Amino acid sequence: MSQQETDLEQLNVFDLSGFAKLITLLQEKGYTTVGPTVEEGAIVYDEIDSIEDLPIGLTDEQAGGKYELRKRNDHALFGYVVGPHSWKKFLNPAGLRLWQARRNGRSFEVLEQEAPAPSYAFIGARACELNAIAIQDRVFLKGSFVDSDYAGRRQNIFVVAVNCGQAGGTCFCDSMNAGPKAKSGYDLVLTEIKAQKRNLFVVEAGSEAGANLLHEVPHEPATEKQMARVSEVVSDAVAQMGRQLDTRDLQSLLYRNSGNGRWNEVAERCLACANCTMVCPTCFCSTVEDTTDLTGEHAERWRLWDSCFTQEFSYVHGGSVRSSISARYRQWITHKLASWVDQFGSSGCVGCGRCITWCPVGIDITEEIAALREADSGLSSILRTEEKE
Amino acid sequence: MAGKVEKPVPAQTSRRAAKPKLAVWKFASCDGCQLSLLDCEDELLSVAAGVEIANFPEASRAVIKGPYDLSLVEGSITTPHDAERIHQVRRASRFLVTIGACATSGGVQALRNFQDVNEFISIVYASPHHISTLKKSTPIDEHVTVDFELRGCPINKMQLVEVLSAYLNGRKPNIARHSMCIDCKRAGVSCVMVSQGTPCLGPITHSGCGALCPRYNRGCYGCFGPMENPNVPSLCERWAAMGHADVEIYRALSTFNVNAEAFRKESSLYEKAGDSE
Ligand code: SF4
Ligand code: SF4
């Protein structure tokens, strides 16, 4: 392969060895490379040393409350969708020590924080996930207060995105306008195509850093046929969306149905276990814990992932504001799909389907909205006929 | 709940003057929970530096007279004598913390609550007339006011250290009452129920162990008892839909926390259904 001038607009192609080289280069530049890898029956995000660590030739079957790994009949590197982890675990860790202090007579002294987080290279981030990162950016960086820890981690990442070649059983990014093609938020984006049993990757740079790195990877310009494959691959994924969510008029649908009986129905099934919020790539709520050691000489403040499904979450003096599970489920979905828009200017859902798959009882956000819509139209038609009479 | 208690005073104020006196009491139990205190190897010296161990037969034969600032109570009430003794403990304790499933829900020995105890006695003991026992094994808070309950079978020793250091520093202990699932997800453990079809009590179980079983690829056994508002019926329905027989569901709910109301209410339904099969 010849080294070419890489243009931001131009599509290029490399093979497995090019991809391997890309990962080595990132590591040489000091990035900790993290990406999909198999652990105890699921594809999670963890450190990967080489492409060997990727779930080669595997796929995932997903449904409400069900996830299963299966063998594919090829050796695709990215032939699956998203698993229980999301990139938020690197940008907004589940447990973070905010500061620590030592007693100093009647006062205290704040101790220096340990070394900053490593620079991560995300290998294989999907379109919905890039949108989820953009959503968390708005939460942590764009408001009146900037979260300095998030900002520090965020500015150091390098993103190698992948366009989805297939959609999962609980995916609906298409409905949320968040995939399956990556549109922004990456340094490089790959589309995995097969040619004569070879894994090929059509690659496009999305940033200068991406373009510069690509210079160092052996590649060649994509042929017209290969370029056409990119759109085919993506439209295949669109055609496979396992779920759909009708977003028309969604905000007012939710606001005018706060008293709908559907909330009690879903609450009969909902365990308030909080799995949905933990796996959601956009859910960002946390709690803060202050702790001391036995001697009282050392104190620490920790931030931990929290959830609107716990009782403590809405605890104010005298009790929990949302004591019933129905109030908590309603709060979660209404925030996610409606008040999030008022608060941050976009929906809080990217249609990744994690909350559906990882809900132990298979509660489905798309099904709940559909049911609410039906109950709502039933209600409004009753109201209309009553008005006529 | 019985017994009048004065408002617990944080230990910190009087700390320099005299170390708070700690007592450990045992009722019907296996000793596992109080032994977790001795298990705190790294922290044991700090514990000993922070409190005066005044009564802890597992650790030392020396007994210092009460009253005690902090009492850790292990075990359930199963005999008329213990039902008396717990009131003495309460009277002698400024702050009373129950530790473990026996003390907080009645323990595995509460299985007898739903059977005929006299029948057991007649079968097991050669001279049944020597046995003086209550029909039920009950948690401490059914007898006296409890200031704090630490769950688990056994308790998590790090949680015990947290309760002690919170007490010594006059702060609220960081002991969450939410589901075990939150701990699993924070630790990055994939759900064994969703990805492997393993029955797991995690979604209705009180946090505390740090997701020990799922980390080792097993379902949660519910050692920490019911979480805050647990939806037991829904989880059981799911287990049934996954193909688990009524008797399995009944048994899963009938272990260390069999007497916890939320577990018992549901297990009794599956027990009956199992009987009629
Ligand atoms: S709400 Fe559900 S589908 Fe939407 S982004 Fe969160 S986990 Fe994904
Ligand atoms: S919707 Fe599902 S995952 Fe979320 S809290 Fe309820 S039962 Fe748990």
- Same domain for B164 and B186, yes or no, is no
Does B13 reside within a domain? no
Tens-digit pLDDT profile for residues B241-263: 999 999 999 999 999 999 999 99
CA-to-CA distance for B60 and A255, rounded, in angstroms? 64
* Atom number of ligand 2 nearest to Cα A355: 3
Whether pLDDT at A285 is above 60:
yes
CA-to-CA distance for B120 and B113, rounded, in angstroms? 12
- When CB atoms are compared, the residue of A66, A273, A279 closest to B203 is A273
Tens-digit pLDDT profile for residues B109-159: 999 999 999 999 999 999 988 999 999 999 999 999 999 999 999 999 999
**Alpha carbon nearest to ligand 2 atom 8, residue:** A273
Cβ–Cβ under 8 Å, residues B182 and B153: no
pLDDT of residue A383: 65
Whether pLDDT at B101 is above 80:
yes
Are the Cβ atoms of B190 and A44 closer than 8 angstroms?
yes
Tens-digit pLDDT profile for residues B159-172: 999 999 999 999 99
Are the Cβ atoms of A67 and B49 closer than 8 angstroms?
no
ipTM above 0.90, yes or no: yes
Name the phi and psi angles at A130, rounded to 5.
Answer: -65, -40
Are the Cβ atoms of A272 and B231 closer than 8 angstroms?
yes
Cβ–Cβ under 8 Å, residues A290 and A301: yes
Name the phi and psi angles at A15, rounded to 5.
Answer: -105, -165
Cβ–Cβ under 8 Å, residues B99 and B33: yes
Minimal CA–CA distance to A221: which of A11, A41, A51? A11
- Same domain for B162 and B269, yes or no, is no
- A126-165 burial: b if 16+ Cβ within 10 Å, else e: bbbbbbbbbbbbbbbeeeeeebebbeebbebbbbbbbbbb
pLDDT of residue B59: 83
- Same domain for B194 and B245, yes or no, is yes
Average pLDDT, stretch A36-49?
A: 97
Minimal CA–CA distance to A280: which of A137, A129, A144, A387? A129
- A293-309 burial: b if 16+ Cβ within 10 Å, else e: bbbbebbeebbbbbbbb
pLDDT of residue A117: 86
Query: What percentage of chain B has pLDDT greater than the value 90?
Result: 80
Whether pLDDT at B7 is above 80:
no
Whether pLDDT at B18 is above 50:
yes
What is the CA B170 to chain-centroid distance, rounded? 23
Are the Cβ atoms of B194 and A89 closer than 8 angstroms?
no
Cβ–Cβ under 8 Å, residues A31 and A121: yes
- Same domain for B259 and B198, yes or no, is yes
pLDDT of residue B15: 45
- Same domain for B227 and B113, yes or no, is no
pLDDT of residue A5: 46
Band the pLDDT of B2: cuts 50, 70, 90. Answer: very low
Does the Cβ of A262 fall within 6 Å of ligand 1? no
Average pLDDT, stretch A78-104?
A: 97
- Same domain for B147 and B199, yes or no, is no
Kindly list the residues from chain B whose CB atom is less than 8 angstroms away from the CB atom of residue A278.
Answer: 181-182, 185-186
- Same domain for B124 and B185, yes or no, is no
Cβ–Cβ under 8 Å, residues A57 and A75: yes
- Same domain for B45 and B91, yes or no, is yes
pLDDT of residue A196: 75
Does B173 reside within a domain? no
Task: Identify the domain boundary among B168, B193, B222.
Answer: B168
Structure tokens at A147: 């979260």
Q: Which residues 89-108 of chain A have a CB within 8 Å of chain B?
A: 89, 94-95
Whether pLDDT at A124 is above 50:
yes
Ligand with smallest separation from the Cα of A245: 1
- Same domain for B157 and B267, yes or no, is no
pLDDT of residue A342: 97
- When CB atoms are compared, the residue of A41, A269, A290 closest to B195 is A41
Are the Cβ atoms of A312 and B181 closer than 8 angstroms?
no
Kindly list the residues from chain B whose CB atom is less than 8 angstroms away from the CB atom of residue A274.
Answer: 178-179, 181-182, 185
**Alpha carbon nearest to ligand 1 atom 6, residue:** A280
- A263-287 burial: b if 16+ Cβ within 10 Å, else e: beebbebbbbbbbbbbbbbbbbbbb
Structure tokens at A336: 């996610």
**Mutation choice for A interface testing from B42, B186, B191 by most A CBs within 10 A:** B191
Average pLDDT, stretch B68-92?
A: 97
- Count of structural domains within chain B: 2
Are the Cβ atoms of B190 and A41 closer than 8 angstroms?
yes
Q: Among A86-95, A319-328, B114-123, B241-250, where is mean pLDDT lowest?
A: B114-123
pLDDT of residue A381: 62
Full residue range of the structural domain in which residue B187 is found = 180-275
Whether pLDDT at B272 is above 60:
yes
Are the Cβ atoms of B238 and A65 closer than 8 angstroms?
yes
Average pLDDT in chain A:
94
**Mutation choice for B interface testing from A68, A269, A273, A355 by most B CBs within 10 A:** A273
Band the pLDDT of A1: cuts 50, 70, 90. Answer: very low
Is A19 buried (19+), middle (13-18) or exposed (0-12) by CB count in 10 A? buried
A82 lies within 8 A of chain B by CB = no
Does the Cβ of A349 fall within 6 Å of ligand 1? yes
Helix axes B261-275, B246-253, angle to 10 degrees: 150
Whether pLDDT at B173 is above 70:
yes
Whether pLDDT at A112 is above 90:
no
Task: Identify the domain boundary among B110, B143, B168.
Answer: B168
Average pLDDT, stretch B188-194?
A: 97
Band the pLDDT of B277: cuts 50, 70, 90. Answer: very low
- Same domain for B28 and B160, yes or no, is yes
Is A197 buried (19+), middle (13-18) or exposed (0-12) by CB count in 10 A? exposed
Tens-digit pLDDT profile for residues A180-201: 999 999 999 999 998 777 899 9
Query: What percentage of chain A has pLDDT greater than the value 70?
Result: 95
Whether pLDDT at B21 is above 90:
yes
| CATH, residue B50 | 3.40.50.700
CA of B123 vs chain A CAs: smallest distance (Å): 42
Distance A205 CA to ligand 1 centre (A): 27
Band the pLDDT of A9: cuts 50, 70, 90. Answer: low
Does B67 reside within a domain? yes
Q: Among A60-64, A382-386, B139-143, where is mean pLDDT lowest?
A: A382-386
Task: Identify the domain boundary among B168, B200, B223.
Answer: B168
- Same domain for B68 and B192, yes or no, is no
Domain boundaries, chain A: 3-95+116-239, 250-292+307-388
CA of A311 vs chain B CAs: smallest distance (Å): 7
